[in-house]
Structure 1
Amino acid sequence: MRRTFFSLGDPGFRSHFAEFQRTAFRLETLQKYDVTYERTEFERFLAGESRGTFPGLEGWLRRVGEGTRRGKEFRRVHILEEPLTDYARFECLWSYRHTVAAGEDVRIIPVPAGQWPEGLPRRDFWLFDSRRLVLMNYGPDGTFVSAEALDDPEPVAEAVRWRDRALAASTPFPEYARRFDELMLSSGSGRPA
């Protein structure tokens, strides 16, 4: 079965996050995402202002917190090219710290710019309960284009292999953040929030 969604707010797309039983895994491969619910906070970050209430993130924090209390696992691996883009710095400083505190297992695979980890795709996806794959499609500027939900065994099995490879090659975000903070503070180009 294949179903395509053209909005992150589509009830069919959102239902995956409510209906999964045990595990939700996300592979992120872009160095910049352009999503409406982050724009104001990203502009604040670029202007050197303090982090605000970040309404777009609050719903995710609630979902993760409630899910983990019920025994669900939220895992994410982001392949980050170094030096980091402004957007990647924003995610690390203003998003990931809070999602980890809410219970999400965020991990990073740092790579030098222009290199890529062997055996991992340059394609974003969600994998729910190792049974349902949602391929995420973005434009060249990081804007969301569509999501394709699949439960065909072959692409799902390939995504399971990618997930396992990504998890094995990644560093837990708190460990990465210690190094990240040292780099940020020594360069004078930002501060942890």
Structure 2
Amino acid sequence: MPQNVPDFPTLLRGVQRSAVHLEMRDTYGVAGEAEEFEQWKRSGEVDLDPDSDGWSGWVPLVRETVARGVTMRRARIVSEPVSEYIRYEHATTSVNLIAGEQIRWLPRRNALDIALPGADFWLFDDRLVRFNIFTGDGDWADPRVEMTEDSAVVRLCASAFEAVWERGIPHEDYKV
């Protein structure tokens, strides 16, 4: 990660009101979850214990953030039928919910008229966008993130997220 970009926990700890995340890929191939994804493909089993070592980098951070009164929402645009990776992601989402995130899913065919940015992103307090940059295979690119406070980009991302959120299906109601 470039030196001038704060790491994600630092960014999230600085949020005062909201952190929203838009995911638009049908597959991710990041090394940190490869082993669990392969295990799930073999057995259908995933780690759903929010207090396990596997979730130790995420769940405490989300709980801490939500406890400060910050709203955390995540929306996922997915192709249907969903990819194997999206089925895996759906299977693990209950842990995100337990931690305090709100999550919705939007079938891609219902997003055709939404102006979307070219990459997944996090939007912090409607003022800072952190784009996540991936390779074609879904692994982190180099550099892995780009950030901006440009008001036009912030507006695009906020508008895109809210449109997806409004049309999205709550996790509990979305079947893969």
TMscore range, shorter length:
0.7 to 0.9
Task: Say yes or no: does 1:107 pair with 2:101.
Answer: no
State how 1:3-152 maps to structure 2 within 5 Å.
Answer: 5=1, 12-14=6-8, 15-48=10-43, 50-52=45-47, 55-94=53-92, 96-111=93-108, 116-121=111-116, 122-145=118-141, 146-152=144-150
| Cα displacement (A) at 1:39 | 1.1
Q: What's the RMSD between the two structures over aligned residues?
A: 2.2
Amino acid at match of 1:42: F
| Cα displacement (A) at 1:35 | 1.4
Amino acid at match of 1:13: D
Q: Which runs of no fewer than 5 residues in structure 2 stay unpaired?
A: none
CA distance in 2: counterparts of 1:66 and 1:117, whole angstroms: 36
- Structure 1 range deviating more: 127-136 or 51-60: 51-60
CA radius of gyration, larger in: 1
How many residues of Structure 1 are paired with residues of Structure 2 in the alignment?
A: 169
CA distance in 1: counterparts of 2:103 and 2:114, whole angstroms: 20
Instruction: Please say if residues 120 and 165 of structure 1, whose CA atoms lie closer than 8 Å, have aligned partners that are also in contact.
Output: no
Q: Which runs of no fewer than 5 residues in structure 1 stay unpaired?
A: 181-193
Identity %: 27
* Distance 1:77-1:30 versus aligned 2 partners, 3 A rule: same
